[in-house]
Amino acid sequence: MVKFKELGFKSITDYQRYFFDTLLPTNKTYEYFVDWQKVKKHLNLYSTEISLLNSLIRKSRSIRKKEFEKLLEKYPEVVRVIPLLVAERVEKKKINIFDIDTQKFLEIDFNPSALKSNVRRILDFVENTGILSLMDEVKDLYDYLLGVEVGLDTNARKNRSGIIFERMIQERVEFLLKAKYDVIRNDPDFSLYPKIRKTQKGKPKRHDVVIYHRGRRGIPLGIIGCNFYNTTGSKPASIAESYIEMYSVARENGIVFVWVTDGPAWLKMKEPLYRAMKEIEWILNFRMVNKIQRIFGV
């Protein structure tokens, strides 16, 4: 059970009430909305190709398709940008599409090395998807693609939300414990996950925070797992169960395990947390992280 007295609470009920009353309604920081560094990095990869395609904007609509073909023949590398113009991330540089007129599935290869055998399909693609018409509406494809990349980047917000919360906890724990301990983020040299998932392939999953005695490596003093949930579902409940097992394995190895979790989803699904609180000694939310000094004797 959660050691509520060591955390400064009179009863488990007081602890639970405080935990749920102080959950964060959101973890959206300024960096949540757009990863500008990633957006600009993607565009900079194709700056030359974008400039070449910009030359088509100045061409008459009646000859633009023919000019597009000439551009592809002279600079085949521009073909890599075409999927981005319709906000499509391509796997293996290919797009599969169903042609209604022919009632056939077509594979369009946007690899410059495959251009010669694929030119006609690519030209039909830029015409039928409206890319050629787009060039009547925009003055600069770089500006247009900047907007496209921002839109595509919103798909990464769900993952970014978890990363942001993880970083919030990492920075806070470092500040609170650095005077006495070495605090390592995502330590590549230590993981208890292989002891839990013995069939796991590849590199073992890393712990969000690993805490060592100052200047000593090997078996750590403690590990911290971080999770933030905006929405309910099976994932928070399964994580709660998995961390009960993580706590058990950590204790068997003489390691303190702390679970820091937060988010409005827990207000609608308290039962998985109640079960975890009966098994795990240390469960905190973001506003309780300063109590980690009590846990590690700082």
In this predicted structure, the answer to whether residue 59 has a pLDDT above a threshold of 60 is yes
pLDDT tens digits for range 167-187: 999 999 999 999 999 999 999
Domains of the chain: 12-29+157-295 (3.40.1350), 36-155 (no CATH)
In this predicted structure, the answer to whether residue 33 has a pLDDT above a threshold of 60 is yes
In this predicted structure, the answer to whether residue 162 has a pLDDT above a threshold of 90 is no
Give helix 234-252 / helix 270-279 axis angle, nearest 10°: 0
Find the mean pLDDT for residues 150-165. 83
Element (H, E) at 183: strand 181-185
CB 173 within 8 A of CB 224: yes
SS3 230: coil
pLDDT tens digits for range 128-140: 999 999 999 999 9
Categorize the per-residue pLDDT at 155 as very low, low, confident or very high, splitting at 50, 70 and 90: confident
Q: Output the pLDDT for position 198.
A: 53
| C-alpha–C-alpha distance, residues 159 and 204, integer Å | 19
The structure tokens listed for 158 are 């769900």
Mean pLDDT of the chain: 91
CB 282 within 8 A of CB 295: yes
Please name the residue that has the structure tokens 């991330």.
Answer: 89
Partners of 105 in the β-ladder: 98
Q: How far is CA 189 from the centre of its chain?
A: 22
- HSE on the CB side for 251, CA within 13 Å? 11
pTM of the entire structure? Answer: 0.75
Q: Output the pLDDT for position 200.
A: 53
Categorize the per-residue pLDDT at 4 as very low, low, confident or very high, splitting at 50, 70 and 90: very high
| C-alpha–C-alpha distance, residues 23 and 285, integer Å | 7
SS3 212: strand
Q: What is the dihedral of CA 282, 286, 292, 294, to 10 degrees?
A: -90
Q: How far is CA 49 from the centre of its chain?
A: 28
In this predicted structure, the answer to whether residue 199 has a pLDDT above a threshold of 50 is no
Sheet of 222-228: strand order equals 181-185, 209-213, 222-228, 256-262, 283-284
pLDDT tens digits for range 211-245: 999 887 788 999 999 999 988 888 888 999 999 99
Find the mean pLDDT for residues 81-93. 89
In this predicted structure, the answer to whether residue 121 has a pLDDT above a threshold of 50 is yes
pLDDT tens digits for range 257-298: 999 999 999 999 999 999 999 999 999 999 999 999 999 987
CB 257 within 8 A of CB 244: no
Categorize the per-residue pLDDT at 195 as very low, low, confident or very high, splitting at 50, 70 and 90: confident
